[in-house]
Amino acid sequence: MPLELQEVNAETDFPALARSMFESYEDPPQKFFHAREDAIQEAADRLKLWHTHDPSSYWQKIVDTEKDGKIAGGALWNIHKENPFANPSHPKMTWFPDDSSREWVGQALANHSVPRARVAQRPHVYLFIIFTHPDYRRRGVGQQFMDWGIKEADKLGSEFFLDSTPYGRPLYEANGFVYVEENVNVPHREDPDETWKKLADKVGPFTFWWEL
């Protein structure tokens, strides 16, 4: 089978993984993903840093063994063995300029977790990121990740949660996930300045469907 599921090698894989992730989320375009060359480099470093500092983080890739291990897809899981919302933290988005754009992104990330924080205050498996590169769609790549996650949740006796983009829904619904609610993410500020308005216009509002 040329499309093989493997654990990511944190030392070597993030540059190619980040590039594949941007190419995947941008086809078709999704408002919250805008890649420039330097953003891809930055994302590779940041994904590696987050991964190596977060014990719940588990990254997988699917590689094309007939194409020198080209990345066909990736998935980031959080295997929460404890309640991840017990001690809420508000990390600073230091990779954004120190102006209202940093606050906008901080709010957007916090808003993203609100529905799950309401109901998943216990150990669980969370599918944070999943993508299949456009060259490999509808060849079972997403399904291989889902099969792994469903088995892992069963093994741990945990629930499995995810937030879905419009493009993720058919995959999840084919796997029996059910729609719970819509999370329309609109960061809010009483006195939006020009930077805030520009970012809000470029990226938001964006909507995820929250499923279990």
Ligand X SMILES: CC(C)(COP(=O)(O)OP(=O)(O)OC[C@H]1O[C@@H](n2cnc3c(N)ncnc32)[C@H](O)[C@@H]1OP(=O)(O)O)[C@@H](O)C(=O)NCCC(=O)NCCS
Binding site for ligand X (CB under 6 A): 24-25, 130-132, 137-143, 164-165, 167-168, 170-171, 174
CB nearer to ligand X: pick between 20 and 100? 20
Q: How far is the CB of 31 from ligand X (least distance, A)?
A: 12
In DSSP terms, 77 is beta-bridged to 58, 127
CB nearer to ligand X: pick between 73 and 101? 73
CA angle 76, 15, 96 (to 5 degrees): 80
CB nearer to ligand X: pick between 8 and 141? 141
Q: How far is the CB of 59 from ligand X (least distance, A)?
A: 15
CB nearer to ligand X: pick between 24 and 158? 24
Task: Provide the 10 A C-beta neighbour count for residue 209.
Answer: 20
Q: Roughly what angle, to the nearest 10 degrees, separates helices 14-25 and 37-53?
A: 120
**DSSP character for 102?**
H
Q: What is the C-alpha to C-alpha distance for residues 109 and 71, in angstroms, rounded to an integer? A: 27
Please classify residue 51 by burial: count the beta carbons closer than 10 Å to its beta carbon, then call 0-12 exposed, 13-18 middle and 19+ buried: middle
